Amino acid sequence: MAGRPESAAGVVAVVQRIFRGGLLSGQSAIARDLESWTAATASDLRARFVDQPDSSSDTFLVKLRRQLDGAPAATIALAAELLFVNMAPLVPEQIGIRKKLQILDEVLSWADLDAATIDVDLETALTGFLHGGQGFLNYRWAQFQILVLLVERIAERPLPEREALLNDPWALRDECLDVQRSVGHKKGRAQIHVLLYTLFPAAFQPIASAYHKQEIVKAFADELPQPSGDDDRDLLELRRTLEEQTGEHVDFYDEPWVRRWRAGTVEHDQRGWLVRGYNVDGRNFIPAWIEHGYCSVSWREVPEIPADSTKQEVQRAVADAMPEASTQMRGQAAYQLHVFLTVMQPGDLVVTVTPDEVHVGTVQGPATYDPSDGLDNARRLARELGDGRTAPQPHGAARDGAGPPPAAADGVRHQQRGRRAGGTRGPGGRRGRGTRRRRRHQAARTAARHRGTRDAAADAARLAAGDGRTAPRPGPARPARPARHRQDLPRPRPRPAPGRP
């Protein structure tokens, strides 16, 4: 739930232009011939959205359209610009640029705004820099509510007071928190954290979670000689102190800082990774791995990504290569590729399994890219895959040896592809009993393979330890190799629409 300051500058500049510039001039940044940032327009938007909540199960946009039915063009333009402020900081892995533009264009289409366009300067700011967490998407109505009420409050003030408030980070924060108290809930508070950072990046941190702020201050309490009890002020002082000590920019979501405050983030001298190479699109890559001393993953849809790329660089490459994929699909692909390219380090163990054997190797170097026309185009050198111990699969593994073992480490949710059972259909188009029975048996075999792979990974760690190599220490669940095709990735379950406007 944090962002990268180096990628935030463009977003910050545009959000300031829309929000601060709008409140000081009254002019719309999207429909330049309109004065949409006025007290009267904000009051009209508040009366339609906040005072008349829509508790139906429809989506946010469907409900917003009903609430803005018949609204003046200025009110619709203000609504679009507040949605821009809300969505722009979010990275494409949460909400893609095309989706953001689609939402903004739809809202603007509700009014006769021929001159209203998202120009190139505005569009470049939709790349985002921050992951706000799932709550940021689920509670858009609450965040929009905060923005509407805040704009109304500020717009009602004389210009000198507006200027003073928009130039004082702590006074504006107090105003935001007072708005939050007035609505009687905290579901929109992430919006306050993000808005304060975009307006005052020198005073606030790119963190959307109040809980994360508390945990960071608690973990670094020894670096604060005089804690103020105010998380934002303490974080500012903490960042300044650590940057003076190290001479480098401090991002609390990066190493070595994150391991000091985030539960489950620990340093490992050696990690273990389960990489699938058996029955990949009907091919077994493990003999080639053993012969040539490497392991590999494949992702043909994504072009070459350099080793040691940052997570955001991988995310951008995946987003560009898979514009039509769902947010969940892109997020999982980017996460797994980033792990293979950057997180996996020389000295880590590599484990791969077949229905009958477990092979253990050691990572020897950085990832490389093989441009040849093959499946396994991202590779890492791995020593001793050939003389790694082998062991029979434990009871519960696939009995007939058919089907690939799951591409996941213990504790990682994964999806096992399987062929739909055949069979004739019964009366009314329903499948017969034999088909249903085969499906139950197939589900049981899949579950058995899942259990067997987890046990095999544990056996591999024990074998490595018995052979004189250091076994991976217990730690957070490790990711699988990336799925090879878009359809291999788990499809997101539909989420019910929020029951609020």
How do the domains of the chain map onto residue ranges? 5-208, 212-261, 272-416+445-488
pLDDT at 49: 96
pLDDT, mean of residues 456-481: 41
Highest mean pLDDT among 78-82, 384-388, 419-423: 78-82
pLDDT, mean of residues 40-65: 94
74 phi/psi in degrees, rounded to 5: -65, -40
Q: Pick from 386, 146, 178: which is nearest to 289 by CA?
A: 386
Q: How many CB atoms lie within 10 A of CB 394?
A: 14
In this predicted structure, the answer to whether residue 194 has a pLDDT above a threshold of 70 is: yes
pLDDT at 378: 56
pLDDT at 313: 85
Q: Percent of the chain at pLDDT above 70?
A: 69
Lowest pLDDT segment from 5-9, 59-63, 96-100: 5-9
pLDDT, mean of residues 377-391: 48
In this predicted structure, the answer to whether residue 338 has a pLDDT above a threshold of 50 is: yes
In this predicted structure, the answer to whether residue 447 has a pLDDT above a threshold of 80 is: no
Q: How confident is the model at residue 17 (pLDDT cuts 50, 70, 90)?
A: very high
What is the average pLDDT score of the chain? 75
Q: Pick from 225, 219, 262, 218: which is nearest to 240 by CA?
A: 225
Greatest CA separation for the chain = 79
Q: How confident is the model at residue 425 (pLDDT cuts 50, 70, 90)?
A: very low
pLDDT, mean of residues 328-349: 82
Tens of pLDDT along 230-288? 999 999 999 999 998 888 888 898 888 888 898 654 455 677 888 888 887 778 888 88
DSSP state of 115: T
Tens of pLDDT along 390-401? 333 332 222 233
Lowest pLDDT segment from 103-117, 220-234, 355-369, 440-454: 440-454
Lowest pLDDT segment from 54-68, 89-103, 454-468: 454-468
Angle CA 296–300–302, to nearest 5: 105
Strand segments, DSSP code E, in 200-284 are 272-274
pLDDT at 421: 28
From residue 442, alpha-carbon distances to 162, 402, 431 in Å are: 66, 11, 16
Q: How many CB atoms lie within 10 A of CB 155?
A: 19
DSSP lists the bridge partners of residue 383 as 362
pLDDT, mean of residues 150-170: 96
124 phi/psi in degrees, rounded to 5: -65, -25
Q: Percent of the chain at pLDDT above 90?
A: 34
pLDDT at 177: 96
pLDDT at 375: 58
Q: Which residues contact 202 (CB under 8 A, 6 or more apart)?
A: none
Where does residue 457 rank: exposed (0-12), middle (13-18), buried (19+ CB within 10 A)? buried
DSSP lists the bridge partners of residue 361 as 350
Q: How many CB atoms lie within 10 A of CB 460?
A: 26
The amino acid at residue 379 is R
3-state secondary structure 359-428: EEEEECCCCEECCCCCCCCEEEEEECCCCCCCCCCCCCCCCCCCCCCCCCCCCCCCCCCCCCCCCCECHH
**pTM of the entire predicted model:** 0.57
Looking from the CA of 255 toward its CB, the CA atoms found within 13 Å total 7
Q: How confident is the model at residue 147 (pLDDT cuts 50, 70, 90)?
A: very high
DSSP lists the bridge partners of residue 492 as none
Looking from the CA of 175 toward its CB, the CA atoms found within 13 Å total 22
Where does residue 339 rank: exposed (0-12), middle (13-18), buried (19+ CB within 10 A)? buried
pLDDT, mean of residues 172-199: 94
3-state secondary structure 302-355: CCCCCCCCCHHHHHHHHHHHCCCCCHHHHHHHHHHHHHHHHHCCCCCEEEEECC
Which letter, b or e, does each residue of 293-321 get, where b requires 16 or more Cβ atoms within 10 Å of its Cβ? ebbbbbbeebeebeeebebbbbbbbbbeb
Q: How confident is the model at residue 435 (pLDDT cuts 50, 70, 90)?
A: low
Lowest pLDDT segment from 250-254, 371-375, 420-424, 451-455: 420-424
Which letter, b or e, does each residue of 245-280 get, where b requires 16 or more Cβ atoms within 10 Å of its Cβ? eeeeebbbbeeebeeebeeeeeeeebbbbbbbbbbb
pLDDT, mean of residues 300-329: 80
Which letter, b or e, does each residue of 139-148 get, where b requires 16 or more Cβ atoms within 10 Å of its Cβ? bbbbbbbbbb
pLDDT, mean of residues 360-366: 82
